[in-house]
Amino acid sequence: MKIVIIGGTGLVGAKLVNNLRQQGHEVVAASPSRGINSVTGEGLAAALAGAQVVVDVSNAPSWEDKAVLEFFESSTRNLLATETVAGVRHHVALSVVGTDRLLASGYFRAKMAQEKLIQTSPIPYTIVRSTQFFEFVGSIANSATDGLSVRLPSALMQPIVSDDVAAALASVAVAEPMNRMVDLAGPDAIPLDEVVRQFLKANRDPRTVITDEQSPYFGIPLKHRSLVPDGTPSRLGATHFETWLRRSTPNP
């Protein structure tokens, strides 16, 4: 099976490419650095020729409101139009759990626009909404830092390691289209402030986490369950946050 990975050189994309190649599939790792640009359309038709599946794990280079909306709308429209001509049978997209609850953010409004374009296209699809990656926790800490203090609410999150995201996407890509969204999360629901507290401790970071329920998450307010799936996720990753911290941070 020929599978094209849009964003195939990024964190999840590169793992997904390797996963699918190990299964024996013909995989194209598409990215602007490889001459395949979903926003401009450069190299897209040639890359998708003969493909049965396209998996879009790309992300916008800028999260400024106008730029991020233009990225996801232009990229998704170009992909779906090119897929129609190429006869692609399954469009898989990576999105974010809670997108519809976080629309105060321009980024999530852009992700919602992407999802709607996919849902109204004639291409059969599966949208995989994932929770935040373990590898993203450092950025969360940095965004909430003032001096040596990190102010965060205790809203629940259920983070997942990127390896488990790639494995789930590989499974979805080779299966029949679901024509719906599926939620993907890690095995443990942990308060956001505690996730960052554990991360900083494991990395011997001197910053102190202060629990502040009014503190925003990348500029937007959170409710207690804004970042976790409604009900039981369709798929759960196997890797626990504590396990990942032990193997990815410096030894004492």
CA 226 to chain centroid, in Å, comes to: 16
- Could you tell me if residue 183 is left (phi over 0), alpha (psi between -120 and 50 degrees) or otherwise beta? beta
Please tell me whether residue 142 adopts helix, strand or coil conformation: helix
Q: Residues 89-121: pLDDT tens digits?
A: 999 999 999 999 999 999 999 999 999 999 999
- pTM metric for this prediction: 0.94
Confidence of residue 248 (pLDDT cuts 50, 70, 90): confident
CA–CA separation, 50 and 44 (whole Å): 12
3-state secondary structure (DSSP) of residue 15: helix
pLDDT at 252: 55
pLDDT value of residue 249: 77
Q: How many CB atoms lie within 10 A of CB 89?
A: 15
> Going from the N-terminus, what domains does the chain have, and what CATH number goes with each?
2-248 (3.40.50.720)
**Cβ contacts of 200 within 8 Å, gap of 6 or more:** 141, 150, 207, 209
Q: Are 221 and 192 in contact (CB under 8 A)?
A: no
Tens of pLDDT, residues 134-161:
999 999 999 999 999 999 999 999 999 9
Give per-residue pLDDT as tens, 194-215: 999 999 999 999 999 999 999 9
